[in-house]
Amino acid sequence: MNALAALQLALRALRRNKTRAMLTTLGVIIGVAAVIAMVAIGNGAQQRIAAQLASMGTNSLVIRAGSVTRGGVRTGAGTTTTLTLADAGAIAELPDVVALAPTLRTAAQVRYRGTNWGTAIEGVTPDHVVAHSWPLAAGTFITERQLKAAAHVCVLGQTVARELFGLNNPVGETIVIKGLACRVIGVLTEKGATAWGSDQDDTVLAPLTTVQRKLMGVTHIERIEVVTSGRDASDRVMEAVKRLLRARHRLSTGQDDDFRIYNRAELAQTSEESARVFTWLLGSIASVSLLVGGIGIMNIMLVSVTERTREIGIRMALGARQSDILWQFLLEALVLSAVGGVLGVFLGLGGAAAVARFSQLPVSVTPVSILVAFLFAGLVGVFFGLHPARKAARLRPIEALRYE
């Protein structure tokens, strides 16, 4: 018997019991749809987290001023004054360092005409927007020349712009920071809150040199954000920075570091890992329903084999081999699961689209999840169809013929 004839027999048998075939398929349809929709929701969450991480800069290290011990007293983190702009310049020369953003922060009251607002003032370099992948909404950013000249210019975060200027355009206006008049040259796009709830837009950026000399009267910096060429490079860069800074700060062996280095990639990995676990969790729960659908197929096929025992006997008398009977029943199970798989894919796509539309959850259907769900449905068909099919094929012809 050829494959086409076997398929025709299987289809004919299924057509004879349409309602039953459809109900059996429904189990697989729901299973496959559930897998696709759930994985789509999981993937959506994963992608949203990835996007958030990207906006934070995942391939980055943060170097902070550390603590020192003076006469037995250990000062807190960020209290040393040994980290300088020159250190940042040296780090910029290291391999795999793509961008670098040294910063120095202070808090200040800023004034514009009648209003004032207490906010963070950050001394930054021109690379800041690159390192933080933070584009401007209006105006220009601090230039190298303005940095060198410690120019009296600033760029506002959205919150500050809103608080001081309302709906007016701040670019070109002059605000007063701790008595220093600074011209607003740009406004940043809205970045939103961090995962820890602090408003990233509540900030004023000024040239690092301006903050150092004119606002704080210091020569050190607080932190350096280092963007590396990739997550793998981060570990290497971290080691290199450590060696470089120890050498530059003339720390002898046995002396503690006067700086701290944090690897953001680790944080990203943790978040992404938990998102992946979430996807797997949803997928596995949905798979259970696919499994139940498979058991439905087996159940119906077993009933069908029993019901059609006599038919099997007749077919054997007419010359069907064991393998012919096996294939007929296996193909019936396979057709059920394949049809269920196809319809399930459509239902799953529809379900995912509905979730995306009626809830705020991001949804992402990947071709891989469709393929996997479909193949899984096929596998379910083979797995749960094989037992009834073998049972049918192993019937003895005379017993099958005599079966009432």
Minimum distance, C-beta of residue 12 to another protein, in the bound complex (Å): 8
Question: Binder to another protein among 87, 201, 258, 311 (CB under 8 A)?
Answer: 311
Q: Half-sphere exposure (CA, 13 Å, Cβ side) for 239? A: 4
Q: Which of 268, 229, 293, 263 is nearest to 34 (CA)?
A: 293
Minimum distance, C-beta of residue 322 to another protein, in the bound complex (Å): 6
Contact between 227 and another protein (CB under 8 A)?
no
Q: Which of 377, 378, 349 is nearest to 365 (CA)?
A: 349
Measured between alpha carbons, how far is 131 from 91 in angstroms, rounded to an integer?
14
Contact between 303 and another protein (CB under 8 A)?
no
Closer to another protein at the Cβ: 2 or 198?
Answer: 2
Closer to another protein at the Cβ: 11 or 353?
Answer: 11
Measured between alpha carbons, how far is 109 from 124 in angstroms, rounded to an integer?
18
Contact between 342 and another protein (CB under 8 A)?
no
Contact between 148 and another protein (CB under 8 A)?
no
Closer to another protein at the Cβ: 132 or 315?
Answer: 315
Closer to another protein at the Cβ: 243 or 321?
Answer: 321
Cα distances from 273 to residues 191, 361, 362, in angstroms, run: 24, 19, 18
Contact between 332 and another protein (CB under 8 A)?
no
Residues 6+ apart with CB under 8 A from 25: 336, 337, 339, 340, 343
Minimum distance, C-beta of residue 306 to another protein, in the bound complex (Å): 15
Contact between 74 and another protein (CB under 8 A)?
no
Contact between 323 and another protein (CB under 8 A)?
yes
Question: Binder to another protein among 314, 338, 342, 382 (CB under 8 A)?
Answer: 314
Question: Binder to another protein among 190, 193, 310, 366 (CB under 8 A)?
Answer: 310
CA-based angle 164:165:166, to the nearest 5? 105
Measured between alpha carbons, how far is 83 from 223 in angstroms, rounded to an integer?
8
Q: Which of 71, 39, 104 is nearest to 366 (CA)?
A: 39
Provide the β-strand partners of residue 348: none
Minimum distance, C-beta of residue 324 to another protein, in the bound complex (Å): 6
Name the token pair of 32.
């496959």
Contact flags string 16-45 toward another protein, x per CB under 8 A? x-----------------------------
Contact between 277 and another protein (CB under 8 A)?
no
DSSP structure string for 62-127: EEEE---EETTEEP-TT-----BHHHHHHHHTSTTEEEEEEEEEEEEEEEETTEEEEEEEEEE-TT
Question: Binder to another protein among 318, 357, 360, 367 (CB under 8 A)?
Answer: 318
Contact between 295 and another protein (CB under 8 A)?
no
Question: Binder to another protein among 317, 368, 375, 379 (CB under 8 A)?
Answer: 317
Contact between 321 and another protein (CB under 8 A)?
yes
Task: Enumerate binding residues for another protein (CB under 8 A).
Answer: 1-2, 4-5, 9, 12, 16, 310-311, 313-324, 396-398, 401
